[in-house]
Amino acid sequence: MVINGVTEVSDADFAAEVIEAELPVLVEFTADWCPPCRQMGPVLAAVAEEEAGRLRVVQLNVDKNPDTTNAYKVLSMPTFMVFRNGEPVRSMVGARPKRKLLEELADVL
């Protein structure tokens, strides 16, 4: 499901949607009960729109997808990971404003 340019991924399709993606992928590991995760919704939608063609933005619900969450040792929400060529190249924890998120993504795009 795609909401505001942000695709929801799961354990089942993580490899196809993220690992095998041609573009770099920003993954937000999120949870329904996490207020900072909800705050990031509009930020991620704006980043997805601004960086379309250069970056995919996806979300993975940690409660519904424990395999991927555990595989990448995600303990805090929200955690952001950038995957490029199937490998995690950047990890960031915690909500942040769009400007700061884009600064942190600049060198991996």
List active site positions: 34, 37
Q: Which residues on neighbouring strands pair with residue 30, listed in sequence order? A: 61
Q: Confirm if 69 and 78 have CB atoms less than 8 A apart.
A: no
Amino acid at 13: D
**Tokens in use for 74?**
């995600």
Closest alpha carbon to 52 in 24, 87, 83, 14? 24
Helix axes 35-50, 98-105, angle to 10 degrees: 60
